[in-house]
Amino acid sequence: MTMARAEDAVTTSCGLADLELLAGARQRAEQLVGLLATLPFTEYTLRVAREYVDESGPIREAFDRFASLDAVEQQRRLRVWRGGAS
C-alpha cells in the first residue's frame, strides 16, 4: 500500500468512525425527544439527557469534520459507510 493509500485509508476510517458517532447521536436524540414528550420526567429521562449533553463535544467535532468536506466527499463516505463502497 502506498503512502497516499495508507493516508486515504486512515482518513476513511476516521470518517466512518465520525459517521458512526453521528448516527449513534441521532438515535440517542430521538430517544431523548421521546422521553421528553412524556410526563412526568423520570430519573431515567434525566440520566439520558445528561449522557447526551456529556457526549456533545465529540459529536460536535465529528459533525464539524464531516461538514467541512465537500459534497462529493460527503456522499462518497456515506456510500462507503452504508456499505455501497465506490
Per-residue pLDDT reduced to its tens digit, 21-61: 999 999 999 999 999 998 888 999 999 999 999 989 999 99
Looking at the chain, the whole-number percentage of residues with pLDDT higher than 70 is: 79
Nearest to 74 by CA among 7, 6, 3, 22: 22
Q: Is the pLDDT of residue 5 over 50?
A: no
H-type helices in 1-86, by residue range? 3-36, 43-54, 56-67, 71-82
- Taking the C-alpha atoms of residue 76 and residue 40, their distance in angstroms, rounded to an integer, is 43
Global pTM value: 0.69
What pLDDT does residue 16 have?
A: 78
Position 72, amino acid: V
